[in-house]
A and B are shown apart, each in its own frame.
Chain A
């Protein structure tokens, strides 16, 4: 079963990297989302994946049973999903703002930062 997961991780990573190579900001953002999904899946697989019982301590016991899954990778992934969600939400807002301010979602048109003090432009746009 690990092999299936390994292939899906590599497929997701390929898709993510392909999207990130685009010049379109939204595609880059989708690439980040897919890449972070691949990372989460990778933690799942490398944490040891088996068809076992959920990690719940039974009523009459003090510790997890022998057949229970390892709860730590699940906790790690939950944390990573929450953090990733916040960052992607922020990045989406940033892309929207960039579209509103610069008027384009293509990286070719976004060179305002590059122009500041560049020898190829007489005078950069005002900043600050």
Chain B
């Protein structure tokens, strides 16, 4: 049994939520049972992802070929340290969200299908992290898209319908571009397996089709992850969803896009080749600046945070814009830090709503007297997001900016520092308006339930741990960055020398 689980470990992060989605759908109408199924599923998925991570760390990459079809003919799953860690952190966030949902979820939202849709989203996210086949990646993106649309419109309010339409149309364009890029790539190389592509692409003659394919991948994943000229769907939809959904979206969805981008431009295309780097630098700088300026004028907590997702995505993009091993390690560190902190801030926005009954900063206030603990809990992720030492955001920004200076991209480092300053402005705005000032009208404060504080405290502790002992995560990020860029390891996963010799004959 133990051997069986170890052997199939890479499948469980997808199989468990898939089964849970089916059960939750079959149990629709029985809220208690659905809740048990979902809670059990997220705990089991988290345990499975931890086991996967430990196996990957001790024994190297894990891979699985489906249905007895050998790569490159069949669909494969593969996990290096980067993807295993992404799966782990995604499922940690899912666990936090489900704990948060215990009291925050309304019966209407459960009836609208929250549980099966949430599990379906986790299927898509974990599948996207683990797949080793580019067309399979497209399928997981579509699974994510259809479940996120259901999750946004849980309450069917006017704002949600409006947000969902913008989300749907722009993301449909992104997936169509992704599909076209796959078609062109297949036409040029004749294979869809990522390891095989890593082997074949360097030997393929450069052609217009390949360049267009790379650009289409860039734009498609750019829309998904919210790059500068293409991010408009994000701040016009994320804030309309219910806060549990917003927190998970904020933590995970854009990061799946970023993950796919890193995979495609480290494993398939050569980032040092051609005009990719200046283009990435343009995207990174624009994303950082426009995200943070967009946040400055907003008054809804969730909208401020949504715009900050965009500016943080710019920091992660610096990793590909500079593309030294140091920068890639910084980007990996940044992704981990960002998922934890950003989801936590959305959870705290939910707690603010719980306490004051509004998300609009103009109408709330006085929380510092009402719940000083919440104020302290807000300070940790907010200061971490802005990059104040000794919190996790400081190390993340430090690694990125250090890498930019060393990688001859001083202007990007300057932009990053400037944007960090503006981030403090936005965070202090939330601080002043929601916690510090007296409310404009008397507010009837409600107590914040313990299931809301548990995930917030957990994520705060992780932020503090990373902040005070960044060593382990820094070393891990360096390893993940090395693994990510190591094409030979990916090729050796499925093809040994004799295979290659046979193909060449």
Contact = CB atoms under 8 A, between A and B. Distances in A.
Given A119-B298, A128-B242, A42 B169 contact: no
A113 B240 CA distance: 6
A124 B299 CA distance: 10
Contacts, number: 151
A114 B179 contact: no
A117 B361 contact: yes
A80 B178 CA distance: 11
B494 to A, nearest CB: 18
B300 A124 contact: yes
B162 A39 contact: no
B303 A117 contact: yes
Given A102-B161, A117-B361, A79 B240 contact: no
B224 interface: no
B186 interface: yes
Interface size on A, as a range, is: 35 or more
A35 B158 contact: no
Nearest to A45: B187
A118 B297 CA distance: 8
B160 A32 contact: no
A95 to B, nearest CB: 7
B183 A42 contact: yes
Interface stretch (B23-31, B138-146, B459-467): B138-146
A60 interface: no
Interface in B123-142: 135, 138-139, 142
A20 B172 CA distance: 11
A61 B153 CA distance: 53
A18 B237 CA distance: 24
Interface string B157-199: 1111111111011001101100110111011100010000000
B270 interface: no
A112 B242 contact: no
Which secondary structure characterizes the binding site on chain B? helix
A113 B162 contact: yes
B187 A46 contact: yes
B161 A117 contact: no
A57 interface: no
A48 B187 contact: yes
Contacts of A43: 179-180, 182-183, 186
Given A116-B240, A128-B242, A102 B162 contact: yes
Contacts of A53: none
B142 to A, nearest CB: 5
A39 B176 CA distance: 7
B353 to A, nearest CB: 8
B209 interface: yes
Interface of B: 135, 138-139, 142, 145-146, 149, 153, 155-166, 168-169, 172-173, 175-176, 179-180, 182-184, 186-188, 192, 209, 236-237, 239-240, 242-243, 297-304, 353, 359-363
Interface of A: 20, 25, 28-29, 32, 35-36, 39-40, 42-43, 45-48, 72-73, 76, 79-80, 83, 86-87, 90-91, 94-95, 97-98, 101-102, 110-119, 123-128
27 contacts: A25-B165, A28-B169, A32-B169, A39-B176, A46-B187, A47-B187, A80-B179, A91-B169, A97-B156, A101-B161, A102-B161, A113-B236, A116-B159, A116-B240, A116-B300, A116-B302, A117-B298, A117-B301, A117-B303, A119-B298, A123-B360, A125-B157, A127-B155, A127-B159, A127-B160, A128-B157, A128-B359
